[in-house]
Structure 1
Amino acid sequence: MNGFEKRAQEIKERIIATTLEMLKTTGPKRIRIADISQAAGVSQVTIYNYFGSKEALIRDTVKMFAEKTFRDFEAYMNEKHSFKEKLAHILVLEKESYTQFPPSLFKELLSSDPELASYIDEQYKQHTIPLSLRIFQEGKDSGEISDEVSAENVLALMHIYMSQYETILEMAQQSGDMEKFFGGMVHMFFYGLCGKP
């Protein structure tokens, strides 16, 4: 990469980082290119030259956020951790993701951009599900998951958790001790209401 390409890449990354910060507090419809340009310290023309439109910029920003989140997730899952540690890490990542991107905002982004929704769905099918199944099998092989439990059971329970995560997150915040709350959720996931380790 020559000096010009490196500079161009740095500018693009700064624009995307600025857009990501704005998305955390402002809906995509209310974000203006003028605001991004001022906050990123670049001209509006530069943004249009790199991304073409506000919609394309937001799409690229969300894609990069999703890709980084998955890379970090995959890197942790490839390390030597127990199934319980991996599940706890998934819940922590979900908490962090939803703190940065509230579910309502993410739904708005996906419903207003079919191309982005298709991309996220494809990533989920091609990467998230196979990785989840691999983690499940590792948990089976290590004896951490009962023979009575199938991959479909674990995926169904995780789907229930994730589909209700906005409500769970609100309850965790209201509890006053989010770490303890999520610790209890992990315990319940593994041992049920009455079970013991």
Structure 2
Amino acid sequence: MNGFEKRANQIKAKIMKTTLEMLRASDPKKVRIADISKLAKVSQVTIYNYFGSKEELIREVFKNYFDKTIRDFEEYMNEGHSLKEKIEHIILLEKESYKDFTPGLIKQLITEDNELSQYIERQYRETTIPLTVRIINEGKESGEISENVTVENVLAFIQLYMNQYESILEMAQKSGDTDNFLEGMVHMFFYGVCGKR
């Protein structure tokens, strides 16, 4: 990479970081190129040259964030952790990602951007599901998941949790001890309300 390319990548990264910070605090419809330009200390022309439009910029920010989350997750999965540690890590990732992209924001972005919706669906199908199945199979091989439980059972159970994660996180925050609450949810995920059999 030559000096020009390196500089261009640094400018793009700064624009995307600024946009992410603005999305954390504001509705995408209220985010303006003029405001991004001011905060990132680059011209509006520069932003349009790199991204073409506000919609494309927001799409790239979301894709970049999603890709990095998956890469970090895959690295963690390859470090030899127990199944319980992996599930705890998934819940922690969900908790952290909701600080950046709330479920409402994600739904809004997906509804309004067909290309982004297709991208998320493809990543879910091609990366997230196979990785989750691998984790479950490793858990079955290590004896951490009962032989009476199928991969489909665990996938369904995880989906139930994820479908209600926004509500679970709200309850965790209201409890006054978010980490302890989520630790209890992890315990119930593995052992149910009666504890280990």
**TM-score, with structure 2 as normaliser:** 0.98
Structure 1 SS opposite 2:196: coil
| Residue equivalent to 2:8 | 8
| Residue equivalent to 1:84 | 84
User: Which stretches of structure 1, 4 residues or more, deviate above 4 A after TM superposition?
Assistant: none
Contact kept? 2:83, 2:139, Cα under 8 Å: yes
Q: Hey, what's the Cα distance between the residues in 1 that align with 2:101 and 2:169?
A: 12
Q: Hey, what's the Cα distance between the residues in 2 that align with 1:167 and 1:195?
A: 23
| Residue equivalent to 1:22 | 22
Structure 2 SS opposite 1:42: coil
Give the deviation of 1:144 after TM superposition: 0.3
Q: Hey, what's the Cα distance between the residues in 2 that align with 1:91 and 1:119?
A: 23
- State the one-letter code of the partner of 1:56: E
Q: Hey, what's the Cα distance between the residues in 2 that align with 1:100 and 1:56?
A: 18
| Residue equivalent to 2:195 | 195
**TM-score, with structure 1 as normaliser:** 0.98
Give the deviation of 1:195 after TM superposition: 2.4
The answer on 1:66 being equivalent to 2:97 is no
| Residue equivalent to 2:38 | 38
The answer on 1:124 being equivalent to 2:129 is no
1:6-53: per-residue Cα shift (whole Å, max 9, x none)? 111100000000001111111111100000000000000000000000
Give the deviation of 1:100 after TM superposition: 1.7
Structure 1 SS opposite 2:29: coil
Give the deviation of 1:101 after TM superposition: 1.1
Q: Hey, what's the Cα distance between the residues in 1 that align with 2:156 and 2:180?
A: 24
- State the one-letter code of the partner of 1:3: G
Structure 2 SS opposite 1:69: helix
Q: Hey, what's the Cα distance between the residues in 1 that align with 2:182 and 2:54?
A: 37
The percentage of counterpart residues that share the same residue type is 64
List aligned pairs for 1:42-57, cutoff 5 A.
42-57=42-57
What are structure 1's unaligned runs of at least 5 residues?
Answer: none
Q: Hey, what's the Cα distance between the residues in 1 that align with 2:42 and 2:168?
A: 40
- State the one-letter code of the partner of 2:168: I
- State the one-letter code of the partner of 1:142: S
Structure 2 SS opposite 1:149: coil
| Residue equivalent to 2:155 | 155
1:125-163: per-residue Cα shift (whole Å, max 9, x none)? 000000000000000000000011110111101101111
Structure 2 SS opposite 1:179: helix
Q: Hey, what's the Cα distance between the residues in 2 that align with 1:169 and 1:141?
A: 31
Give the deviation of 1:124 after TM superposition: 0.5
* TM-align CA RMSD: 0.8
| Residue equivalent to 2:178 | 178
Give the deviation of 1:196 after TM superposition: 2.4
